Amino acid sequence: MRNWILHVDLDSFMAAVETLRNPELRGRPVIVGADGDPTRPRTVVSTASYEARQYGVHSGMPMRTAHRKCPDAIFLPVDLPAYETVSAQVMDVLRTFPVVVEVWGLDEAFLGCRTDDPEALARDIQRAVHERTGLTCSIGIGDNKHQAKLAAGFRKPAGVARLTGDDWTAVMGERPTTALWGIGDKTAAKLAAMGIHTVNQLAAADPADLAERFGPTNGPWLRYLALGKGEATVSDTPWIPRGHSREATFTQDLTSPEEISAHVSAFARRLAAEADDAGRRIVRVTVKIRFRPFDTLTRQTKLPSPTTDPDAVDTTAVAILDRFDLTRPVRLIGVGVEYEPKN
């Protein structure tokens, strides 16, 4: 008997839920994103079924690109309430097992457990999830969250895989740095400029050089990932958000300061109402503006005192706009609020 961490990853979650609601979609390429209209600009794919992925469609891809790659796909709008309901059902199934469940999102969770056969436990969990919800999931097993997360992607869909410190170098060593959880294309490009292309090379890199290039915290953290390290504690304590935000990308660029201000005001008032409903008070307001083509700037202001007064939040957000040059076309507007810490 020993401690293990399992990562449960629901396969093609949103598309799978849509297929459960409409069995006629089974076996067909399904793409879920935005309002479901693939001709609208500046919208992206949220989830693609495995049939759609065979055409090269993936999450985060522009909907227009997905439509070009797979014109015969079924395009559907995001239905968040439906996905939240099904996700809650899955998490309830996981809690019937002798594990600690840390919900990580709508479609994934980390499980802490003590067992002598983690693969058997993983398959029992897969069967239970499928029997009670109709969904399939892939499960990764590791010594820490990083390893378990990576392992869950090895045998998708509906597979079980293990990755531990014992076989880390053999499995991961010659893979590109993007194979690590937390390293994207931009970071990988910066590493490549340093002559670091593989996980092994990053693991052998000089921490001082990494700190100089990426900062005293992020630099050593990248090497930490390459060594197969990661958080090894799973907690079922509910996550308490530090804040909330709302944003919108517009199909047509905004050029009117009055129209931009109206959107900021609407977001600010909505966030104030949501904070009040949640019993939280706002201490800071942030406004994000993305100009054409892709220049993004943020500005923020701390409130004189914690509040949920929509007038105060609205006035602050609109005042922040004065710190932007609004003579350029705007493609995205976002407003965020930071909450007063809970005792």
Question: pLDDT tens-digit profile of 220-232?
Answer: 999 999 999 999 9
pLDDT score of 244 more than 80 = yes
Distance (Å, whole) CA 94 – CA 7: 11
Question: What does the pLDDT look like over 98-145, one tens digit per residue?
Answer: 999 999 989 999 999 999 999 999 999 999 999 999 999 999 999 999
Residues 16, 156 within the same domain: yes
- Residue 156: Cβ within 10 Å count: 17
Residues 38, 102 within the same domain: yes
Inside any domain, residue 219 = yes
Distance (Å, whole) CA 48 – CA 74: 10
Inside any domain, residue 237 = no
Measured torsion, CA atoms of residues 313, 319, 323, 327, in degrees rounded to the nearest 10: 110
Question: What does the pLDDT look like over 171-207, one tens digit per residue?
Answer: 999 999 999 999 999 999 999 999 999 999 999 999 9
Choose the final residue of a domain: 113, 137, 164.
164
Residues 148, 75 within the same domain: yes
Residues 7, 149 within the same domain: yes
304, 208 contact by CB (below 8 A): no
Inside any domain, residue 92 = yes
Inside any domain, residue 236 = no
Share of the chain above pLDDT 90, in %: 92
Question: Domain span at residue 83?
Answer: 1-164
Q: Cα-flanking dihedrals φ and ψ of residue 248, to 5°?
A: -145, 140
Residues 149, 9 within the same domain: yes
Residues 222, 135 within the same domain: no
Which amino acid is it at 232?
A
* pTM, full prediction: 0.81
Q: Six-digit token pair at 301?
A: 């202001």
Distance (Å, whole) CA 115 – CA 122: 11
pLDDT in the model for residue 293: 80
Residues 6, 81 within the same domain: yes
Inside any domain, residue 169 = no
Q: Which residues are catalytic?
A: 108
- Residue of 88, 131, 128, 124 lying closest to 109 (CA atoms): 88
Inside any domain, residue 231 = no
Distance (Å, whole) CA 276 – CA 314: 14
For the chain, first and last CA: distance in Å?
Answer: 38
pLDDT score of 326 more than 90 = yes
Burial classification of residue 180, based on how many CB atoms lie within 10 Å of its CB (0-12 exposed, 13-18 middle, 19 or more buried): buried
Residues 189, 92 within the same domain: no
Residues 62, 101 within the same domain: yes
Inside any domain, residue 235 = no
